[in-house]
Structure 1
């Protein structure tokens, strides 16, 4: 897979030309679609809603790519847009009905790859871990997700969340402690 980690000059050049701009957006979708979908799902805990948010993120990128300031990576910018859209969505009262634990259990947690025949089945342990991470308060699950599932560096997470590095470190530590206590309670 071709990566989108281009220099700022290359990105600026690509988004000026309409044909190159569309190709750039298509490459961005191919590369980051699943990651954005999982990030959105980790917030809203509703697969259909996460898909809508993912589409909205890329639509926003298409219309606002020329406002990209190049002071972060494309991935960081996409994650920031996703986090903002998720938070906006959660603020709406009618969406809160989707956030019960029962709805989470009924969701299909398996996300299809680009080809239907390449569906990845999660093991029971992966499913249990996913449920436990999703049950954490938002400020802990977002850093756990970005650090462990997306392998983002702490500075990158801080940039996405608009938080201080020490805040991210503290949330990671507390989130890990919460998960550890969940596992200890489950083994008794």
Structure 2
């Protein structure tokens, strides 16, 4: 029996399987949109509750993942409207983004962590509409037509937002590198 059919039969094991299968993906998506891990987890919990209650509305079982993505996006938008997230600044947790465990040297691991931290901070500096398209396009690997469908915007609007988001990200990252270069001499090694 397919997972969606089991969910429609309200089998608890199917809900657990759904959460195990899509939980990390949805949390990562929500985190990139909301900038807060705890709030992202809450949005994903709401997503699973809504999905479980409204599973009969899903017409094509093959579109389960995209249906869940649309629900989590709506939950994130709702949270963004309720709270002022502009003043929240949180530390990046690099292990939340990694999916595969590869063996890296300590130097490579540090450089990857720094890159991910800088990229995450830069994404979080963007306005929500730009964070949304960047997250869906690059991290969730959605096509522009899919993003347009979920956001209820025109494809050209999504293309435009994506282009602006890339430029803004580039500016933020370049400014960060320039700041480091300018202040490199101020960073001193501890003396013994």
Contact 2:34/2:40, CA 8 A, preserved across alignment = yes
Distance 1:112 1:44, change over 3 A: closer
Q: How many residues align?
A: 168
Contact 2:28/2:97, CA 8 A, preserved across alignment = no
The equivalent position to 2:149 in structure 1, one of 156, 159, 162, is 159
TM-score normalised per structure 2 = 0.74
Distance 2:163 2:38 in 1: 31
1:140 aligns with 2:140: no
* Runs (5+) with no aligned partner, structure 1: 1-9, 115-119
Q: CA deviation at 1:37?
A: 0.9
Residue aligning to 1:85: 75
Q: Deviations over 1:63-120 (max 9, x none)?
A: 110122339821221111111111212222xx32x5424x323x64532989xxxxx9
Q: CA deviation at 1:187?
A: 2.9
* Runs (5+) with no aligned partner, structure 2: 100-108, 179-192
1:110 aligns with 2:88: no
Distance 1:38 1:112, change over 3 A: closer
Structure 1 residue matching 2:148: 3-state secondary structure: helix
Contact 1:33/1:54, CA 8 A, preserved across alignment = yes
Contact 1:44/1:50, CA 8 A, preserved across alignment = yes
Residue aligning to 1:17: 9
Residue aligning to 1:100: 87
Q: CA deviation at 1:178?
A: 0.9
Contact 1:44/1:99, CA 8 A, preserved across alignment = no
Distance 2:145 2:72 in 1: 18
Distance 2:157 2:61 in 1: 21
Larger radius of gyration between Structure 1 and Structure 2: 2
Comparing 22-31 and 48-57, the one that deviates more = 22-31
RMSD: 2.9
